Amino acid sequence: MTETAVISTRNLNLYYGEHHALQDVDISFARNRVTALIGPSGCGKSTLIRCLNRMNDLVDNVRIEGEILFEGANINTPQTDVVSLRKKVGMVFQKPNPFPKSIYENIAYGPRIHGIKDKKILDGIVEQSLRDAALWDEVSDRLHASALGLSGGQQQRLCIARTLAVGPEVILMDEPCSALDPIATAKIENLVEELKKTYTVIMVTHNMQQAARVSDYTGFMYLGKLIEFGETTGIFEAPREELTENYVTGRFG
Ligand SMILES: Nc1ncnc2c1ncn2[C@@H]1O[C@H](COP(=O)(O)OP(=O)(O)OP(=O)(O)O)[C@@H](O)[C@H]1O
């Protein structure tokens, strides 16, 4: 890959107890591009993206070896400031998980934690984040209503807005559409297209059509290994590995 990598791993290995869940993964994620991670259930896709903002730290009995380079530094060290890492490498989960608070408070929460107190500035961040997440027009008249009253698709865009509000560089998305209907899914996919102008997006998806539609690069994983990585068109139309071909043509999975 000739593009600038924002984040990359070198000899990344992860063990859950005895289970070797990531094996020698070397991958680079290009700036302002969407990279999709695909592969059958249990192959390690979520485990891999969770390494990129140290979410696996929260799991008991996990051991991680190797380097994860972000902005030139290895983040897989005890010295890493994990709070500031998670501000720069945000995450959106499979199931929308808004806080049981107002729409406004969901977005303002992160910036407040990071020290922004001025109401005018917070108002501006809330509006901009909602605009950037393509939600402003649907909620601008009810910012102080509960976020739990939004539809699933709106809640997921709210979660994206919440991530944008703290000024990330990378957005990790772990199957962000799996709980959504096709219309809400299409909105998220269109949004991802917009987001990559400003951010780097790394998305786990079970849906191969989605990977083909939204991503520039695709990594295919199998049993904890990154089997093949390259431009999405190449992975889907001319895979080099037989395993990849079998998977993308639906022969297993
Ligand atoms: N907290 C954990 N403790 C122990 N084993 C785990 C844990 N999380 C995941 N695993 C195991 O690690 C392997 C990789 O899981 P992971 O969730 O990363 O796969 P995945 O490719 O994202 O799967 P899916 O598509 O089903 O979400 C699986 O065998 C899984 O059972």
Q: According to the model, what pLDDT value does residue 31 have?
A: 97
What's the pTM? 0.95
| Confidence label for 1 from pLDDT (cuts 50, 70 and 90) | low
Which residues does residue 224 pair with via DSSP β-bridges, in sequence order? none
The 3-state secondary structure of the chain, one letter per residue: CCCCEEEEEEEEEEEECCEEEEEEEEEEEECCCEEEEECCCCCCHHHHHHHHCCHHHHCCCEEEEEEEEECCEECCCCCCCHHHHHHHEEEECCCCCCCCCEHHHHHHHHHHHCCCCCHHHHHHHHHHHHHHCCCHHHHHHHCCCEHHHCCHHHHHHHHHHHHHCCCCCEEEEECCCCCCCHHHHHHHHHHHHHHCCCCEEEEECCCHHHHHHHCCEEEEEECCEEEEEEEHHHHHHCCCCHHHHHHHCCCCC
What lies within 8 Å, CB to CB, of 117 at 6+ separation is none
Ligand 1 center to 248 CA (angstroms) = 21
Range with the poorest average pLDDT among 1-5, 121-125, 156-160? 1-5
Q: What is the mean pLDDT of residues 24-52?
A: 97
Nearest CA residue ID for atom 4, ligand 1: 16
Nearest CA residue ID for atom 25, ligand 1: 41
Pocket test for ligand 1, best of 12, 14, 19 (most atoms within 8 A of CB): 19
Nearest CA residue ID for atom 26, ligand 1: 41
pLDDT tens for 77-112 read 999 999 999 999 999 999 999 999 999 999 999 999
ipTM over 0.95: yes
pLDDT higher than 70, residue 20: yes
Average pLDDT over the chain reads 95
Range with the poorest average pLDDT among 11-25, 120-134, 175-189? 175-189
Pocket test for ligand 1, best of 23, 38, 47 (most atoms within 8 A of CB): 47
pLDDT higher than 80, residue 253: no
pLDDT tens for 55-64 read 998 899 999 9
Tokens in use for 80? 């890493």
Ligand 1 center to 47 CA (angstroms) = 6
pLDDT higher than 90, residue 72: no
Nearest CA residue ID for atom 29, ligand 1: 42
pLDDT higher than 70, residue 47: yes
Of 96, 194, 207, nearest in space to 147 by CA? 96
Ligand 1 center to 61 CA (angstroms) = 14
pLDDT higher than 80, residue 243: yes
Nearest CA residue ID for atom 31, ligand 1: 42
How many Cα atoms are found within 13 Å in the side-chain-facing hemisphere of 2?
0
Nearest CA residue ID for atom 27, ligand 1: 41
pLDDT tens for 160-213 read 999 999 999 999 999 999 988 999 999 999 999 999 999 999 999 999 999 999
Percent over 90 (pLDDT), the chain: 93
Ligand 1 site residues (CB inside 6 A) read 16, 19, 21, 39, 41-47, 59, 206
CATH architecture of the domain with residue range 5-96+168-249: 3-Layer(aba) Sandwich (3.40)
Ligand 1 center to 42 CA (angstroms) = 5
Q: What is the mean pLDDT of residues 132-158?
A: 96
**Residue positions counted in the chain:** 253
Which residue ranges make up each domain of the chain? 5-96+168-249
